[in-house]
Structure 1
Amino acid sequence: MSPAPATRRLPWREPLAVAAGLRDRDGALALLSDGGPLGRWSFVAADPDRVVVEPVEGALDRLRDPDFADGVVGLLAYDAGARPATGPREPVWPDLILARYPSMLAFDHEAREVLAIGRGVDPAIAAGWLDLAVEPGLPDPPASAFMPEAPGAAYEAAVADVVARIASGELFQANIARAWTGELKAGADPFDVMLRLAGRASAYGAFWRIGDRAIVSNSPELFLTFDALSGRIETRPIKGTRPRDPDPVRDAALAADLQASAKDRAENLMIVDLMRNDLARAAVTGSVVVERLFEVEPLPTVHHLVSTVVARARPDIGAADLLEETFPPGSITGAPKHQAMKVIAVHEPPRGPWCGSLFHIADGRLTASVLIRTAAFERDGEVWRFRTLAGAGIVADSDPASELAETDAKIRALREALLG
Structure 2
Amino acid sequence: MKRNTLILPYTEVSESQILQWAQQQQHFLLLNPNDYRLKADFSSFEKIFAVGRRAHIEVPANTDGQSRPFEQIRKFHEQHQDWLFGHLNYDLKNELEDLQSRHPAKTAFPNLHFFVPESLFFFEAHHVRLETYSDSSKIKAEILSTNLPATRPLNPVVFQAQTTKSAYLQTINSLKEHIRQGDFYEINFCQEFTAEGVSIDPLQTYQALNAMSPMPFSAFYRLKEQYAIGASPERFIKKEGRKVISQPIKGTSRRRTDPKKDAQQKAYLVNSDKEIAENMMIVDLVRNDLAQTATYGSVKVPELFKVYSFPQVHQLISTITAEQREGTHWSDIIEKAFPMGSMTGAPKISVMNHADRYENGRRELYAGTIGYITPEGDFDFNVVIRTLFYNTENHQANYWVGGAITIDSDAEAEYAECMLKAKAIQSIFKN
**TM-score after normalising by structure 2:** 0.89
Aligned partner (choices 334, 339, 347) of residue 336 of structure 1: 347
Mapped to 1, the partners of 2:216 and 2:374 lie a distance apart of 18
Residue pairs, 1:130-145, within 5 angstroms: 130-131=143-144, 135=148, 138-145=151-158
Match of 1:163 in 2: 176
Partner of 1:15: 15
Alignment of 1:373 onto 2:383: no
Structure 1 gaps, min length 5:
none
What corresponds to 2:258 in structure 1? 247
How far does residue 192 in structure 1 lie from its aligned partner after superposition? 2.4
Q: In the TM superposition, what are the counterparts of 1:42-121 in structure 2 within 5 Å?
A: 42-55=47-60, 56=63, 57-64=67-74, 65=76, 66-82=78-94, 84-87=97-100, 89=102, 90-92=104-106, 93-108=109-124, 111-118=125-132, 120=133
Segment of structure 1 superposing worse, 177-186 or 99-108: 177-186
Report the CA distance shift for 1:137/1:162 in structure 2 as closer, same or farther (over 3 A).
Answer: farther
Distance 1:10 1:17, change over 3 A: closer
Distance in 1 (CA, whole Å) between partners of 2:105 and 2:119 is 32
CA drift at 1:17: 4.3
Offset at residue 46 of structure 1 (A): 2.1
What is the Cα deviation at residue 176 of structure 1?
0.2
Shift of 1:9: 3.4
RMSD: 2.2
Please name the residue that 2:24 is paired with.
24
- 1:380 Cα shift? 3.2
Which stretch of structure 1 is more off in the superposition, 205-214 or 9-18?
9-18
In structure 2, how many angstroms separate the alpha carbons of the residues matched to 1:363 and 1:75?
Answer: 17
CA distance in 2, matches of 1:26, 1:370: 23
Identify the range of structure 1 (323-332 vs 51-60) with the bigger mean alpha-carbon deviation: 51-60
**232 and 243 in structure 1: CA distance in 2 versus 1, 3 angstrom threshold:** same
Task: Quote how far apart the aligned CAs of 1:14 are.
Answer: 4.7
Classify 1:125/1:164 alpha carbon distance in 2 versus 1 (closer, same or farther; 3 Å): farther
Change over 3 Å in CA distance of 1:138–1:409 after alignment to 2: farther
Identity of aligned residues (%): 28
Q: Structure 1 residues 126 and 309, CA, compared in 2 at 3 Å: closer, same or farther?
A: farther
- Between the aligned partners of 1:231 and 1:136, the Cα distance in structure 2 is 45
Which residue number corresponds to residue 210 of structure 2?
198
Work out whether residues 285 and 346 of structure 2, in 8 Å CA contact, stay in contact via their aligned partners in 1: yes
**Secondary structure of the equivalent of 1:407?**
helix
Structure 2 gap ranges (5+): none
Alpha-carbon distance between aligned partners in 1 of 2:382 and 2:19, rounded to the nearest angstrom = 20
| 1:224 maps to 2:237 | yes
Question: How many residues are treated as equivalent by the alignment?
Answer: 410
C-alpha deviation, 1:197, in angstroms:
1.0
Alpha-carbon distance change, 354 to 136 in structure 1, aligned in 2, over 3 angstroms: farther
The one-letter code sitting in structure 2 at the alignment partner of 1:214 is Y
Give the 3 Å change call, closer, same or farther, for CA 71–170 of structure 1 in structure 2: same
Contact residue 103 and residue 126 of structure 1 kept, 8 A: no
Q: What is the SS of the residue equivalent to 2:231?
A: strand
Provide the C-alpha distance between the structure 2 equivalents of 1:132 and 1:320, rounded to a whole number of angstroms. Answer: 41
- Counterpart in the other structure of 2:268: 257
Q: How does 1:257-276 map to 2 (within 5 A)?
A: 257-276=268-287
Distance 1:18 1:277, change over 3 A: same
Q: Corresponding residue for 1:286?
A: 297
Partner of 1:321: 332
CA contact (8 A) 2:17 2:144 kept: no
Cα distance in 2 for partners of 1:324, 1:184 equals: 37
CA 371–5 in structure 1, closer or farther in 2 if over 3 Å, else same: same
Q: Report the residue type matching 1:131 in the other structure.
A: L
AA aligned to 1:107 is F
TM-score normalised to structure 1 length? 0.91
Cα deviation 1:248-268 (Å, max 9, x = unaligned): 221111111112111111110
Q: Distance in 2 between matches of 1:288 and 1:133?
A: 49
Q: Whole-Å Cα distance in 1 between the matches of residues 368 and 410 of structure 2? A: 26
Moved more, 195-204 or 293-302: 195-204
Give, in whole Å, the separation in 1 of the partners of 2:32 and 2:142: 16
Question: For residues 112 and 35 of structure 1, what CA distance do their matches in structure 2 show?
Answer: 14
